[in-house]
C-alpha cells in the first residue's frame, strides 16, 4: 500500500500525549499572561521580507541562512515569520498603536526557520511570545522576567532551569565595547575559527558565544562589557537586578551572553536547562530599543522574549488526558436517533459526552471504559419505550435508570 505524501522534513504532526503537553504549555501561558495583564495579539504568518531583514539584521544566522523567503505571484518577496518580534513591531507602526503605549502583548503560534532538524530543533516550530512596547523603564524588563519565571514554576519545570542575565549596555557602551572586542580579536586572529574570522568582520560580539573550542581561549580572555558601561547603562542594569531580587527571582550573570539578534540593548537573557542536551535554551529575549527605528518608526523602547513550546512541552510531566464525563451507547436504530438528541442536550448542559457511532454493545462499553468516562449511558429499546436510560457509574459500579428528561440533572447531581 502506498503511504501517500510524507510530511516536510523538520515539520511535526502532533497528536495524543504530545498534543496534550503542547496544549498544557499554551494554557499555562494564557493563564499567566492574564495575571500580568498582557493582551492577546494575532499577526500574519508572513510579512514582506524586508520586515525581518531590516529589524533582525542581515548578519544574523536567521536572516543570512534560516529564512523561508519566496516571491509571491505578484513578484513581491515574502518571508514566513522566523520569530514574532519583528512582525509585532511592524503591526505597532502600521496600525498606529503608539497612542496605546506602553503596550503589553502576548501571542503564540508557528514560526519557521530553515535549520538542520534534530531533537528540540524543527523547521516549523512554535513559540510563546511576550513583549512590552513603548516603555524604557527597567521595571518592564523585570515584569517580563518575573512572568517568565512564574510560567516555568506553573509548568513545574523551574528546577534545573537557570536565568542567565547580561547587559549589552546602551548604544555608546556597545560601540566602545565592540571596538575593544575587535581590537582584541584582531590580535588573536591566528587562533580563531573560520566562522569567527567571518564574525569579526560582521558581528564580532557573536565570537563570545562561539561553541567552537578553537575560539574559546580568545573569547574567554576578551574584554568584558562592565569596563565600558556608561553610568546610565550601569544604573539600568542595577535596577533590573534589584527588581528581580525584590520579586524573588533567581538569576546568574553571564557576561558572554550576547544573543544572536543585532537589535538588543541593555538587558539580554536566556533561561537555560541542562535537561535537553544541546538545545538547552528554553526561553530567551531582551531589550530591543533600536528595532522600531530600524523599521522606519520613531525611537521606541521595547523589551520581550520568546520561548520554544516544544522544548517546554518536552520537560513537563505528562498531563492528565481530558476525558469526557459520559459516553452514550445506543442499541438499535431508534435508540441511535434518540441518542443524537440526548447527546446534544447533555453537551448544551455543559456535560462533555462522547458517542460511538457504530459497533456492538460490548465493544462500545469497553471503549467507554478505556476512555475513562464516568458514566456509560445505555439506550436500548426497553429503556426507550419507558422514556428512560440505563446509566452505569463506572467509578462506583452502580447501575440505575433515569428519565430521559432528567438525564443531565441526574448526572450533575452525582
**Using CB under 6 A, which residues numbered 310 to 339 contact ligand ATP?**
310-311
Nearer CB in complex with ligand ATP: 109/260: 260
| Cβ closest to ligand ATP, residue 69 vs residue 230 | 69
Lookup: cell for 229:
558601561
Task: State the minimum distance, in angstroms, from the CB of residue 99 to ligand ATP.
Answer: 30
Tell me the C-alpha distance between 248 and 296, whole Å.
38
Q: How far is CA 257 from CA 94, 164, 272, in A?
A: 32, 8, 11
Segment holding 228, helix H or strand E: none
List 98, 162, 279, 294, residue binding ligand ATP (CB under 6 A): 279
Site for ligand ATP in 215-274 (CB under 6 A): 260
The helix (H) or strand (E) run that includes residue 104 is: strand 103-112
Q: Pick from 54, 113, 199, 374 the residue near ligand ATP by CB under 6 A.
A: 113
- 63: contact with ligand ATP by CB under 6 A: no
Task: Rank residues 69 and 98 by Cβ distance to ligand ATP and give the closer one.
Answer: 69
Q: Single out the residue of 231, 238, 272, 13 nearest to residue 122, CA to CA.
A: 13
Contact 256, 219 (CB under 8 A): yes
Closest CA to 54 of 289, 293, 304: 293
DSSP string, 223-280: PPGGGG--HHHHHHHHHHHHHHHHHT---EE-TT---S-TT-EEEEEEEEESTTTT--
Q: Does the footprint of ligand ATP cover residue 131 (CB under 6 A)?
A: no
Contact pick of 55, 127, 210, 300 for ligand ATP (by CB under 6 A): 127
User: CB of 70: closest distance to ligand ATP in angstroms?
Assistant: 19
C-alpha cell at 387: 422514556
Rounded alpha-carbon distances, angstroms, from residue 367 to 354, 358, 364, 383: 10, 12, 5, 21
Nearer to ligand ATP, 33 or 113 (CB): 113
Query: Binders of ligand ATP among 149-208, rule CB under 6 A?
Result: none
- The reply to whether 129 sits near ligand ATP by the rule CB under 6 A is no
Q: Does 64 bind ligand ATP (CB under 6 A)?
A: no
Q: Are 236 and 160 in contact (CB under 8 A)?
A: no
Q: Cα(227)–Cα(393) distance, rounded to whole angstroms? A: 71
Measured from the CB atom, the residue of 149 and 388 that comes closer to ligand ATP is 149
**Which residue's C-beta sits nearest to ligand ATP?**
308
Site for ligand ATP (CB under 6 A): which residue of 18, 30, 50, 115? 115
Give the footprint of ligand ATP on this chain (CB under 6 A): 83, 113, 115, 120-122, 125, 127, 260, 279, 281-284, 306-308, 310-311
Amino acid at each position: 500500500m502506498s503511504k501517500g505524501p510524507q510530511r516536510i522534513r523538520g515539520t511535526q504532526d502532533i497528536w495524543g500525549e504530545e498534543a496534550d503537553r503542547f496544549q498544557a504549555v499554551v494554557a499555562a501561558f494564557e493563564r499567566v499572561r492574564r495575571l500580568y495583564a498582557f493582551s492577546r495579539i494575532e499577526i500574519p504568518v508572513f510579512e514582506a521580507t524586508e520586515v525581518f531583514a531590516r529589524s533582525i539584521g542581515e548578519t544574523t544566522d536567521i536572516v543570512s541562512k534560516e529564512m523561508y523567503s519566496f516571491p509571491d505571484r505578484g513578484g513581491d518577496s515574502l518571508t514566513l515569520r522566523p520569530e514574532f518580534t519583528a512582525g509585532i513591531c511592524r503591526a505597532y507602526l502600521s496600525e498606529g498603536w503608539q497612542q496605546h503605549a506602553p503596550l503589553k502583548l502576548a501571542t503564540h503560534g508557528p514560526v519557521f526557520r530553515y535549520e538542520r532538524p534534530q531533537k528540540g530543533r524543527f523547521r516549523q516550530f512554535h513559540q510563546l511570545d511576550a513583549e512590552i512596547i513603548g516603555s524604557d523603564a527597567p521595571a518592564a524588563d523585570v515584569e517580563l522576567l518575573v512572568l517568565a519565571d512564574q510560567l516555568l514554576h506553573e509548568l513545574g519545570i523551574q528546577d534545573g532551569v537557570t536565568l542567565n542575565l547580561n547587559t549589552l549596555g546602551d548604544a555608546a557602551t556597545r560601540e566602545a565595547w565592540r571596538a575593544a572586542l575587535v581590537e582584541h580579536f584582531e590580535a588573536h586572529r591566528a587562533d580563531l575559527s573560520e566562522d569567527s574570522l567571518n564574525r569579526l568582520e560582521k558581528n564580532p560580539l557573536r565570537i563570545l558565544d562561539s561553541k567552537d573550542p578553537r575560539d574559546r581561549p580568545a573569547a574567554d580572555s576578551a574584554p568584558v562589557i562592565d569596563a565600558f558601561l556608561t553610568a546610565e547603562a550601569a544604573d539600568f542594569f542595577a535596577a533590573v537586578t534589584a527588581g528581580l531580587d525584590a520579586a524573588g527571582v533567581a538569576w546568574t550573570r553571564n557576561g558572554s551572553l550576547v544573543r544572536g539578534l543585532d537589535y538588543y540593548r541593555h538587558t539580554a537573557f536566556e533561561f537555560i536547562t541542562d535537561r535537553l542536551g544541546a538545545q538547552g535554551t528554553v526561553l530567551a529575549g531582551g531589550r530591543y530599543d533600536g528595532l522600531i527605528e530600524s523599521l522606519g518608526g520613531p525611537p521606541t523602547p521595547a523589551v520581550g522574549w520568546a520561548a520554544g513550546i516544544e522544548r517546554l512541552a518536552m520537560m513537563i510531566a505528562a498531563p492528565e488526558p481530558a476525558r469526557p464525563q459520559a459516553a452514550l451507547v445506543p442499541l438499535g436504530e431508534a435508540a441511535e436517533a434518540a441518542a443524537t438528541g440526548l447527546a446534544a442536550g447533555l453537551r448544551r448542559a455543559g456535560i462533555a459526552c462522547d458517542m460511538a457511532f457504530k459497533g456492538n454493545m460490548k465493544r462500545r462499553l469497553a471503549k467507554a471504559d478505556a476512555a475513562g468516562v464516568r458514566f456509560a449511558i445505555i439506550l436500548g429499546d426497553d429503556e426507550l419505550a419507558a422514556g428512560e436510560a440505563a446509566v452505569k457509574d463506572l467509578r462506583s459500579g452502580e447501575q440505575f435508570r433515569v428519565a430521559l428528561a432528567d438525564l443531565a440533572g441526574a448526572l450533575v447531581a452525582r
